[in-house]
Structure formats: structure tokens, C-alpha cells
């Protein structure tokens, strides 16, 4: 928009008005998605979004829903997060990937409950994830004692470890209410569209020589965020569910 304004000699505001109001153009986000959803998957997206929205709205107070809502998701923390495609090129030995560590985050409307950093060479199995759920329950008792008397509404994606027999059994044992997540919907989890995107911007351009160096600023970044930041991320789900329904199950990010 800035380049257009300079080229033709008008203000950015005028360019924006012409693009949006007169030409009815929209800016599309180029994000990676696993596949284009089929008609059946779109219907599933709509159905689950409607169910989640109904659950959200049936509470006597939306604040109660948000306060009982706990989310988990994972992301890679790279030793170097580039600011551009050109900067992303790194010299590595043949067969080696850029150094990074997998972070599994558990958070709610008040902040981060805990972050698990996966050791190099390990994978998140059903057993590993089940143990993380046990640790989550301990952290809830320690950091959110008031939630012990309430029903935990839990959100996770459909990763194999999350849907394993061990993990599902642990969720039942803990009496967590699992909120269903639509398949192939990477633009729906609040961690992805809200929490992680801003973290990546914060880390952009920084270089670290070890996993410990890389994880320290992550912990500091989340500790400095206000409670409102986390609460707003969860509240944004209402808009996303409504958007999925209005778009008949198509990807939300395509139409931002």
C-alpha cells in the first residue's frame, strides 16, 4: 500500500479506501495449510464450530468459560529466527537441520501454566504426552487452586499423541472436558493465530548458541505479557468459530 501511494502520489489512506471500498479487494495471508478442505471436511468444520460456539454461549457468563479454558499446542523454537527468506538460509552439515527445540505450551486466561522443552532425539509419544497432562494437573493445583473445584475445558489439536489411548484415558481420569477440534484447521487454534505468531516476531533476528539460550527469552517474553493478552486470545475464538460458520467451513485466514 505504501509503494502504491508513493508511485501514484496519493495518501495511503486514499489507497486503502480505493482498494477496500471501491475495488472490494481483500488482503490474503499466505500461510501454509496441510491441504484444501473437501466438502465433507468443510461440513465438519462448520458442525464442530457450531457446537463450540453453542458451548461458549450457553454459559451464564462468557468470563466463566474463558477462566476454565486451558489450551495446549507446540511450536519450534529455533536458534535463529530470520527476519526474511534470504536470512533463513544457513550453512549446515549434510543431513542436518537447523538447530531448534520443540516447545509444548499449556496456557489459560491468566498466563502460561508451564512449557515443556523436548530433549533432542526424542519424540512426543502418547506416553510422553500423558505424563505432560499429569504435570499440567500439578501446575493447576499449584498456580490455579480455584480451578480445582471447577470443570476444566481443555483444547488440543488432533496430533496422534494427543489422540492416543493413553492420552485420552488420562484426560478422562483427570475429568477434563475436551473441546473438539476440527480436522485440518491450522488457523483455528489460538496458540497458532495469536500466541505463537507474536512470539516469532519477538524472536526474529535473534541468534542463540544453545537450547538453553533459546528458551530463556521465550520464558521472559511470556512472563512480561499481561493477563489481558492471554484472555483476549481465548476470547478471539468466538470470532473464529463464527467466521468458520459464515464461510461454510473454509479456511479463515484466506479472508482476513
* Model confidence pLDDT, tens digit, residues 91-149: 444 444 567 899 999 999 999 999 999 977 789 999 999 999 999 999 999 999 988 88
In this structure, what DSSP letter does residue 254 have?
G
- Residue 70 clears pLDDT 90, i.e. is over it: yes
Task: Report how far residue 175's alpha carbon sits from residue 177's, in angstroms, rounded to the nearest whole number.
Answer: 6
In this structure, what DSSP letter does residue 21 have?
I
Parallel, antiparallel or unpaired: strands 153-155 and 111-117: unpaired
Domains, in order of start, for the chain:
1-30 (no CATH), 39-255 (3.30.420.10)
Strand locations in the chain, DSSP E?
Answer: 69-78, 100-108, 111-117, 153-155, 177-179
Q: Which of 178, 132, 134 is nearest to 154 (CA)?
A: 178
- Residue 255 clears pLDDT 50, i.e. is over it: no
For the whole model, what pTM was predicted? Answer: 0.77
Q: Maximum Cα–Cα distance for the chain, whole Å? A: 65
pLDDT at 39: 87
pLDDT at 83: 54
**Residue 159 is placed in which grid cell?**
496430533
Confidence of residue 8 (pLDDT cuts 50, 70, 90): confident
Summarize the confidence of residues 186-190 as an average pLDDT: 81
- Residue 80 clears pLDDT 70, i.e. is over it: yes
Amino acid at each position: 500500500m505504501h509503494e502504491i501511494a508513493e508511485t501514484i502520489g496519493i495518501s495511503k489512506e486514499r489507497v486503502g479506501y480505493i482498494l477496500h471500498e471501491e475495488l472490494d479487494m481483500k488482503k490474503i495471508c499466505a500461510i501454509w495449510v496441510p491441504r484444501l478442505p473437501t466438502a465433507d471436511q468443510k461440513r465438519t468444520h462448520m458442525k464442530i464450530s457450531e457446537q463450540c460456539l453453542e458451548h461458549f454461549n450457553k454459559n451464564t457468563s462468557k468470563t466463566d468459560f474463558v477462566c476454565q479454558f486451558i489450551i495446549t499446542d507446540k511450536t519450534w523454537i529455533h536458534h535463529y529466527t530470520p527476519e526474511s527468506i534470504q536470512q533463513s538460509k544457513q550453512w549446515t552439515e549434510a543431513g542436518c537441520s537447523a538447530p531448534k527445540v520443540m516447545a509444548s505450551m499449556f496456557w489459560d486466561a491468566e498466563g502460561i501454566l508451564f512449557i515443556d522443552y523436548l530433549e533432542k532425539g526424542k519424540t512426543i509419544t502418547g506416553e510422553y504426552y500423558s505424563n505432560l497432562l499429569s504435570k499440567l494437573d500439578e501446575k493447576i493445583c499449584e498456580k490455579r487452586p480455584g480451578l480445582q473445584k471447577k470443570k476444566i475445558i481443555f483444547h488440543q489439536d488432533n496430533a496422534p499423541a494427543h489422540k492416543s489411548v493413553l492420552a485420552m484415558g488420562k484426560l478422562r481420569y483427570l475429568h477434563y472436558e475436551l473441546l473438539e477440534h476440527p480436522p485440518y484447521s491450522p488457523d483455528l487454534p489460538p496458540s497458532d493465530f495469536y500466541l505463537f505468531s507474536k512470539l516469532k516476531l519477538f524472536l526474529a533476528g535473534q541468534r542463540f548458541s544453545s537450547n538453553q539460550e533459546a528458551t530463556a527469552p521465550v520464558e521472559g517474553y511470556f512472563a512480561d505479557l499481561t493477563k489481558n493478552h492471554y484472555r483476549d486470545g481465548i476470547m478471539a475464538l468466538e470470532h473464529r468459530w463464527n467466521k468458520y460458520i459464515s464461510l461454510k467451513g473454509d479456511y479463515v485466514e484466506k479472508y482476513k
